Amino acid sequence: MKHLHLLFIALSLVGFLGRVAATKFRPEIMQLKWVNIAPHAINGVVILTGLSLVFQGHWLDGQFGWIVAKIVALLGYVVLGIMALKLPDEKRWYAFGGALLAFAYIVKVAVTKSIF
């Protein structure tokens, strides 16, 4: 399950980077139906496999503040990602940078199981 989770996390990040690039350089790609649907399916699998890992690992039995931190950072990543796709140029890049920082924080918390 862990490898599936990691695969879909990678697909989510690559998809986000591709959509931001398409928004800037080839906006007509963003009109394709599958480009708008695929991220929802991929991120849905990320969330489902993540929940599965939480219950498989019994991570809610002990200290689980790191899981809450990941969920909050995930919400930040989603909001900043939406902003990166919708805002005009300069603001887009600030949101894009913020989304990448949120993603990096999620990875750091996942690896260390520590919120700091």
Q: What is the pLDDT of residue 89?
A: 84
Q: What is the pLDDT of residue 9?
A: 95
Q: What is the pLDDT of residue 28?
A: 95
113 secondary structure, DSSP code: -
Q: What is the pLDDT of residue 8?
A: 95
Q: What is the pLDDT of residue 78?
A: 93
Q: What is the pLDDT of residue 54?
A: 85
CA distances from 64 to 45, 107, 113 (A): 22, 16, 9
Q: What is the pLDDT of residue 62?
A: 72
CB 21 within 8 A of CB 93: no
pLDDT tens digits for the chain (116 residues)? 889 999 999 999 999 999 999 999 999 999 999 999 999 999 999 999 998 988 887 777 777 788 889 999 999 999 999 999 999 889 999 999 999 999 999 999 999 988 88
C-alpha–C-alpha distance, residues 14 and 6, integer Å: 12
Model pTM?
0.87
C-alpha–C-alpha distance, residues 99 and 87, integer Å: 13
Classify residue 58 as left (phi > 0), alpha (psi -120 to 50) or beta.
Answer: left
7 Cβ contact list (under 8 Å, min separation 6): none
